[in-house]
Structure formats: structure tokens, C-alpha cells
Amino acid sequence: MAPSGNAADTIRILVATDSHVGYGERDSIRKDDSWRSFDEVMQLAKSQDVDMVLLGGDLFHENKPSRKSMYQVMRSLRQNCLGDKPCELEFLSDASEVFDGAFNNVNYEDPDINVAIPVFSIHGNHDDPTGDGNLCALDLLQVSGLCNYFGRIPEVDKIEIKPILLQKGLTKLALYGMSNVRDERLFRTFRDGNVKFFRPGIQQKDWFNLMAVHQNHHARSETNYLPENFLPDFLDLVIWGHEHECLIDPRLNHETKFHVMQPGSSVATSLIAGEAVPKNVAILNITGKEFKVEKHRIKSVRPFVTKEIALQTDPRFKKIMKVRDNRSLLTNELEKIVLEQIEQAKNEWLYIQDEEVDEKDIPLPLVRLKVDYTAPDGCKFDCENPRRFSNRFVNKVANVTDVVYFHKKTKINRAPNVDKKMPDESVLAEIGGDSVKVGKLVHEFLTAQSLKIIPQAEFGDAVTQYVEKGDNHAMEAFVNESLSLQVKEMLALDENAIEDLDEHMERFRQKREEMFATGLLKKAKRDRKLHPRPVNWDSDEQGEWADQPGAVIIDDENEGNVNSALAIKRGKTSLFISDDENMNAVSNVPKKAPASKKAATNASSTRGRKKIVKPTSNENIGSSAQTLAPIFTQRPRRVVATKASQLNNRSIDVIEDEISDNDDAFEAIIRKRRK
């Protein structure tokens, strides 16, 4: 029987992604922007009487949010999502299979909590699980009963995605979630056919299949994104998180026949053009297999205007570039442009407000002016220091240190075999700009080096953990572990092998690279512990004990156990893996693991706290689900990327430009084409 189309058969879902609560909280002007936008979204959910809220990742800007950020999120969820209004959604899944925590049940069925609007969320790359216990901020919200955290990926090299089954009236909803996974690794897992989607076992054509993901949407290299055609074609709508540009209108993928919606972020975290697009959230109205979208503008977002000009072609600067000392003239003209942007930002913000607002209550806008000051031959643009120029707009803009960004095209003459340890100019130009990802920089510079002892991928990961995740001991622990393992391996060699010491060190380093790429070293990293804090330690005066040098215990015994488990898994007695071993084997049919390999499961790469029991082909989700065979069983053709030799004194144009928020990429890029 088809749904009637009335409210009793319509599921209303408020969809939002990338709230980034906690962003800029140390900025005296912008410190409250992120949580105010999130609170407006939650108030909208309550006022629009939705059935549920779906968050697409990056609720928090950091995986260790501050107490203020956690307080504001919990306050908003409690004020807007708890209440006496009964939730009309019927939960049909086995909660133990879709939730992983101390309370394996959906929060609105808990007899001790009155939940009016349930919130379902996956994690993103900013609020991902880390540290002892592999917990994240969403775990705290889940145990407090304020959020339903789903879409965990315990094993990144073997992913099984089971839906949450909900029903309201005659409308059935299968909600899939896949939290953030490093893009290169996820690409390989999909390519090798190691991703399984489960579907309801009965009335499959009657279910509306909705999925939330948090990955790169567009190719920034050959493998560091999730192609839309990797997802199964039985889906009806995909909510795409991680990308901050708001593309709220659903777009049809003509190959897979499902729609894709990209809500974007609710706060600007970088001064690029994509963040200047008006911020919106959507309310989905699902009735049977049909859906409609209601767009709602987020009105509390700080106004943001960006503009890009080229002085050489702009008529306002034609005469100025011919003046010898033109700094003051150039500065005055640029100042006029910025003032115009400020006025534009204020007018746009006032236009979307429902009530009249006093001038003093208008928030200071974000303004960015990108200036290409490349001058023709014989001319020069004498630009003022960008920070000094930006300080002219104190009390007029929110970003008083980076209003203007100067860049120009530079011709670089490079002879062959010069600076071999530096990346190519084209690579430096690509990664240059307003927002540079540390992982990308480390990867490109290490690729040009010749490391003999330290594994490149682990080194890059440690730098990224230190800079982006705030792990103060990442570098210290990595260096100690690497050197300790190298020494142990060298001492284990016989006398005849000493002459080939360099070769053995290189082999050892390469095998560590391979093991890191497949996720086999993740468990060892989570086993790090701290020395007990001294009794007389004063955290207020001396700082946190966990941040002190030497506080980390490098557990040699654990490292040895992990290496032993890895060796057992491969049937070897040493750390080395045979060259003929297939580390990315594709298995279309689940096989029963031999008993001798059972002990090695503790060392496999996991992102969750519990091991998912492999289902058989007849296993159901709750009472109505079955296994879907891997979507891809063939590997695409590979084309080896070649690098052309450099010419003597070749002139190269390098243009600095911004790059989008990107995940870490420490692997060599291999070009692949789909048939």
C-alpha cells in the first residue's frame, strides 16, 4: 500500500553538517560564532517540528573540544531536543548492531530520558576517535543520552555498513552512515571490493535509502577522494559532509541514479570563495520513496565577502603602476575597495534578518581581498605589508590580521639537478595559498628526500598528529619507537649480514611503510601510556603533566607483542613480509578464518572499541536485513604516472592559490582510470 502523503506518513529530517563548534574560540571577536550557528540550527529543528536531526560529521572543530564547546553543545541539545513530545519514529533495527557503546539502544526509547527530537550523527575528520579507548566527543554525547552516534568504522580495510531501520506510518527509512576514513585508504578499500552494504531482507523496494558520508567530494589527487560511483546505486539520497561550500539543492547523479546533497558548513573556517556562499540547512520531507527539500538560511552567520583583483588589468590601477613610488597611492585605492566590501557585507546581513537591527548590533564582517600584484616589465607595484594594511580596519572587520592577501606570478629559472631535495615548482605552487594542509606539505617535502632509517609515512603521520590533533608526544614517541625497532632488528642479524647493513635497513623501512599503509601499526600507537604524575606536581604553575617531555612510556613489550602478532598473521617468525604476499587481497565470498590466525586479530587496525563479528551471507539486521555483495569486484586499469625531465633554464609560472580542507596524504599518487 502506497503512503497517503499526509503528515502521518511523512518523516521530517533536519540535515546539517560541519558545525565546527569551537572554531576560533580563542579569537576575542569570533569566539562565539560556531556555537551560536549550531544553536540556531537546533532551535530551527524545534520550531519546525521535525522528527529527527541528521548531522554529517565535524560537529566539533577538535577531537578534544574545550569545556566551553562541550557545554554549549550539550545545553543546546538539551533545550531543543528533550521534551514530552513523543517521537513517532519506530525503531526496527537491532541496536547492538548499529550502535557501539555502553548503551546499545536508541536514546528516545530509553525509559529514563524524554527525547522529543532524536539526533543521529557520524563523526568527521576533526572530531574523530583518538587516544586511549578510541573515544571521541560524540561518545560523551551518546552516553549522556543527547545523541545517537552511528556509522563507526572499526576496520578500515574491511568495511561493513548496516543501516538504521526506521518507520513512520507507511514510510520506511533505511539510514546508512559512514564516518570519516582517510581518503586514500578508503579509495583502496572500495577499489578492492572490501566494502559491504547490508539491506533490509523484506520489501526492499519500499525502503527509502538515505546515507551520510564525510569525505572529500572532488578529486584533489588520484585517490584522495570518494567517487560518487563507488557508492551503491540502490541509494536514493546521499548527504555529503566535509565540503564547506553550501550546495543544498539535491543533484542527480545520472550514472548511479541517486541524488547528492552537500549542505556545507554553518561557520566559515577559512577565507576562501566557497565559504562566502550563503549558509543553509535543509529539512527533508520523505514520504514513501519520494522526498522534498525545504531550504532554511542560517541568519546568525557572520557576514563574509571575498574579492579577487589583478592590479595589472584593473583600470583603477593603470596609472598607478607607472608611478615610481606608488605605495601610498596603491594603499589608498585598495583601502577604498575594502571599505566597499565592508558596506556590502553589512547590507547583505541586514537583508536576511527578520527584524530591524541597530547599527551597533551588526556583527563585524569577514573581508578578504586577494590581490595579484604582478606588474608588466618596467613597472612595479609597491605593496604595503599585508598585516599592517589589515590593521587599518580594526573595529571595522573581524579578521584584523589577514584582510588582504598579496600574491603574484613568479618566473623561476631552474637548471637540472639543482635542489634535488626540494619538490617541483609546480607542486609548491599547487599547495601554496591561503590554507595549506600540514600533511600535504610534509608529504611533498619528504617525497623529495632520501630517508634511510625513519619511515616516511609514519613520520608524516606523527607531524600531522602533533600539529593538527594536538598530540604533544607524537614526534617523541615516533622517533623512540623507530630507532628502538631498528636497533633490535640490526642486533638480530648474523655476522655475515653486517656487510649489507644498508640494504637490511632499507628493507626494514620499506616493510614498515607497507604495514602502515595497510593500518597494521595503528594498534601499537594506541598502546602508549604516561608515567604516573608526581605527587608534588602543580598543574597550574608547571602545566599539564601529559604535556611534559619524557611523560610518555614507550612500551617495548607491547610493541614486541604487536610485531609478534603481525608475524603470526603472515606465518613468519620475523617482522619482514615476503614479497609475494598479497596485502590487498580481494575476497568476494566471506571465508572462515583458520584457528591459527585467530590470535592475530588483536593487532589489526581498528577504529572502534569492539570487534564486529563477521556475518554470514544469511545474517539479518534485527529481523529484516541481508548481506549485499561487495559493490566492486574488478580493479581499474592502472597507468603509471611519469615525470618529464626538466629542461635547462626552463621558465615556469607559479601561481599561489588556496587549497580546500584536505585529509592527510602520505602515499605516492597513482593515476587510475575506471572502465
296 assigned to active site: no
- Distance, CA of 91 to CA of 589 (rounded, Å): 30
C-alpha angle 66-71-75 in degrees, rounded to nearest 5: 155
DSSP secondary structure letter of residue 7: G
Which DSSP symbol is given to 228?
Answer: G
In angstroms, rounded to a whole number, what is the distance separating the alpha carbons of residues 337 and 273? Answer: 17
Which of 126, 214, 217, 504 is catalytic? The answer is 126
Q: Distance between CA atoms of 286 and 10, rounded to whole angstroms?
A: 5
**Type and span of the H or E element at 211:** strand 207-214
> What does the alpha-carbon distance between residue 305 and residue 398 come to, in Å, rounded to a whole number?
12
State whether the Cα torsion 208-211-217-219 is positive or negative.
Answer: negative
- CB neighbours of residue 37 within 10 Å: 25
Packing angle of the helix pair 33-47, 67-81 (nearest 10 deg):
10
Cell numbers for 381? 607595484
CA dihedral 545, 477, 661, 134 (to 10 degrees): -70
Contact indicator for 141, 149 with CB cutoff of 8 Å: yes
C-beta atoms surrounding 671 within 10 Å: 13
Could you give phi then psi for residue 639, rounded to 5 degrees? -120, 120
Question: Which position has the grid cell 564582517?
Answer: 365
From the list 14, 546, 476, the residue with the least C-alpha distance to 285 is 14
Nearest Cα residue to 70 out of 27, 25, 5, 120: 25
Can you tell me whether residue 547 is helix, strand or coil?
A: helix
Q: How many CB atoms neighbour CB 589 within 10 A? A: 7
Nearest by Cα to 301 from 275, 282, 283: 275
Cα-Cα-Cα-Cα torsion 473, 476, 481, 482, nearest 10 degrees, comes to 130
Helix (H), strand (E), coil (C) string for 257-313 = CCEEEECCCCCCCCCCHHHHCCCEEEEEEEECCEEEEEEEECCCCCCEEEEEEECCC
- Taking the CA atoms of residue 515, residue 519, residue 523 and residue 529 in that order, the dihedral angle to the nearest 10 degrees is 90
Measuring CA to CA, which residue among 254, 252, 279, 249 is closest to residue 264? 279
User: What secondary structure letter does DSSP report for 381?
Assistant: -
Grid cell in block for residue 12: 521530517
Least Cα distance to 175 among 199, 159, 195 occurs for 199
Catalytic residue positions, numbered: 126
